[in-house]
């Protein structure tokens, strides 16, 4: 069922995206096995009536697994048909987006870097410090090959907006492959049970799961579940055994940044007029919130992907029924999936009393890097535009793993709707989970947020990853919080 859209013809037209990880990466738990490779088709004859009229070669650096790499190869071939003078070489990076960032930075220092690359905003800010990122605004607004009015109305604003939220005016990144975080939960274990003081004494249902706050989850639901598990075990291991708990959270950095966003506390701020950034999380309010989560961790209500010696993800605990819920990336749904029980997909818990839900934006954007070559720059923009036109956006959203469409028209497409029709899915199948994630992604696409990107914001993220790991470690003494927060801020400032 998944693959009927692969048969759609590629239309030859020009037309078209963070923090769930310990590094600026999509916490998809993907272990890419693709080796660094190159795909090249040489031009033997120059075609004069195209936008790029001279033989031009560009390099695209991408992080993707084998299945998604095949899709990229198809787009390269399709682009060759409409811009035959352009050769696109694809370099696929194994590992995480941090590895992409390292490759680009190392390459810039020796003058060997690609024309366009997948990226996160804080990575782009680092590249901007070398004056190597192309301002795309003139390309976007170009009457001949820019985004049309239809494009601008179709592209989801929450994914486009972060591209212009840097320390300089302009647009320095554009959306490509977006995901977010979701609460995956064991429907078979949770739905239908009745817990004292929870859900007004009614059985747990999807409405309750879809409206959890941190206060309800941690102060009512988790304690009641722990008591329930003592008499009617629904966990393979006790929630208080080793590193198990009630709910997992793959990325401590995302948890920290999201909590601050939800509760209205500052993490970092950026003045786009002056370009000055500040580090703001060393406040009494944030430390009080940290004390709460230290307590929740010590009660084994919540377990982090890296805290207490864990291996980076909680999905294996979820699959093994050692936890009942896990907050992970929609892009990593295959790592949440198990055929052993039905999985529900709900919004992540929110702050009690908040007026708007906040969920972190993930998945890479694309930026162009400056080589002082007009043909390469134009070819790179045209390839990006082709890569993310309506047809290819739909194809990518349908056939890549767990990524959200960046165009509203994809959600409205009849084939996409039919493919993700929940009523047509079979229980306990991966197709069912994909359909649930698709509906969830559409529901929260306008609720996603990103943090300011500036020189040093990558270090800030890495620093709060370590800070939250320490907060959630069972042996951490809260009396040390003043010291560890102060050190975290100092480490951030050194990189700015």
The per-residue DSSP string of 250-300 comes to S-HHHHHHHHHHHHT--SEEE-TTT--EEE---SHHHHHHHHHHHHHHHTT
Whether 2-178+363-426 and 180-361+450-494 share one fold: the answer is yes
Task: List the one residue out of 62, 160, 181 whose CA is nearest residue 119.
Answer: 62
The CATH fold of domain 180-361+450-494: D-Maltodextrin-Binding Protein; domain 2 (3.40.190)
pLDDT band per the 50, 70, 90 thresholds, residue 421: very high
Does this model's pTM top 0.85? yes
Tell me the pLDDT of the chain averaged across its residues: 90
How confident is the model at residue 13, as a pLDDT? 36
Residue 40: count other Cβ atoms within 10 Å of its Cβ: 11
* Class at the top of the CATH hierarchy for domain 2-178+363-426: alpha beta
Cα distance between the two ends of the chain: 49
Among 18-27, 61-70, 298-307, 480-489, the minimum mean pLDDT is found in: 18-27
Q: What does the pLDDT average to over 451-470?
A: 96
The tokens of 264 are what? 């209205």
Indicate the SS3 state at residue 149: helix
How confident is the model at residue 45, as a pLDDT? 67
Of residues 7 and 65, more confidently modeled: 65
Which runs of E-coded beta strand occur in 86-169? 86-92, 116-119
- In contact, 372 and 378? CB cutoff 8 Å: no
How confident is the model at residue 8, as a pLDDT? 37
The tens digit of pLDDT for each residue in 324-383 reads 999 999 999 999 999 999 999 999 999 999 989 999 999 999 999 999 999 999 999 999
Bridge partners for 350 per DSSP: 213
Among 54-63, 64-73, 210-219, the minimum mean pLDDT is found in: 64-73
Domain boundaries of the chain, sorted by first residue:
2-178+363-426, 180-361+450-494
Among 54-68, 228-242, 318-332, the minimum mean pLDDT is found in: 54-68
The tens digit of pLDDT for each residue in 20-53 reads 333 333 433 333 333 444 444 444 467 667 999 9
Q: What does the pLDDT average to over 54-78?
A: 91
CA dihedral 452, 453, 456, 461 (to 10 degrees): 60
How confident is the model at residue 48, as a pLDDT? 65
Among 88-97, 107-116, 334-343, the minimum mean pLDDT is found in: 88-97
Q: Examine the pLDDT at 468 and tell me if it is beyond 80.
A: yes
The tokens of 96 are what? 């995480």
């Amino acid at each position: 069922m998944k693959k009927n859209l692969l048969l759609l013809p590629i239309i030859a037209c020009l037309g078209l995206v963070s923090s769930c990880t310990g590094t600026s990466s999509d916490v998809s738990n993907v272990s890419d096995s693709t080796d660094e490779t190159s795909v090249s088709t040489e031009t033997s004859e120059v075609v004069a009536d195209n936008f790029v009229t001279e033989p031009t070669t560009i390099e695209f650096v991408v992080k993707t697994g084998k299945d998604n790499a095949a899709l990229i190869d198809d787009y390269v071939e399709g682009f060759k048909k409409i811009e035959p003078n352009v050769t696109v070489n694809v370099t696929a990076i194994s590992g995480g987006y941090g590895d992409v960032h390292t490759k680009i930075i190392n390459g810039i220092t020796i003058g060997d870097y690609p024309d366009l690359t997948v990226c996160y905003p804080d990575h782009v800010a680092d590249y901007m410090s070398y004056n190597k990122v192309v301002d795309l605004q003139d390309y976007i607004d170009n009457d001949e090959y820019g985004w049309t009015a239809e494009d601008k109305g179709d592209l989801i604003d929450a994914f486009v907006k972060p591209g212009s939220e840097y320390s300089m005016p302009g647009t320095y990144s554009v959306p490509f492959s977006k995901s977010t975080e979701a609460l995956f939960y064991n429907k078979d274990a949770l739905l239908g049970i009745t817990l004292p003081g929870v859900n007004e004494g009614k059985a747990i249902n999807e409405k309750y799961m879809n409206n959890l706050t941190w206060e309800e989850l941690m102060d009512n639901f988790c304690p009641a579940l722990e008591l329930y598990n003592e008499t009617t075990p629904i966990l393979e291991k006790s929630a208080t055994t080793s590193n198990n708990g009630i709910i997992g959270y793959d990325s401590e950095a995302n948890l920290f940044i999201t909590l601050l966003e939800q509760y209205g506390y500052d993490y970092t701020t950026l003045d786009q007029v002056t370009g000055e950034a500040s580090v703001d999380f060393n406040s009494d309010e944030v430390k009080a919130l940290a004390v709460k989560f230290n307590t929740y961790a010590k009660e084994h209500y919540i377990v982090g992907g890296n805290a207490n010696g864990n291996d980076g993800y909680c999905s294996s605990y979820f699959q093994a029924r050692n936890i009942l819920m896990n907050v992970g990336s929609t892009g990593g749904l295959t790592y949440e999936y198990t055929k052993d029980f039905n999985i529900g997909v709900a919004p992540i818990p929110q702050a009690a009393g908040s007026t708007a839900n906040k969920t972190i934006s993930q998945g890479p954007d694309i930026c162009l890097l400056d080589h002082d070559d007009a043909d390469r720059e134009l070819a790179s923009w045209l390839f990006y535009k082709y890569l993310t036109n309506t047809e290819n956006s739909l194809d990518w959203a349908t056939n890549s793993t767990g990524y959200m469409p960046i165009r509203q028209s994809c959600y409205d497409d009849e084939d996409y709707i039919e493919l993700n029709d929940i009523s047509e899915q079979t229980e306990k199948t991966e197709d069912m989970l994909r359909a649930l994630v698709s509906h969830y992604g559409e529901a929260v696409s306008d609720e996603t947020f990103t943090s300011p990107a500036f020189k040093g914001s990558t270090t800030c993220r890495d620093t709060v990853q370590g800070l939250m790991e320490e907060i959630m470690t069972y042996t951490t003494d809260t009396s040390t919080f003043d010291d560890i927060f102060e050190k975290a801020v100092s480490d951030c400032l050194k990189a700015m």
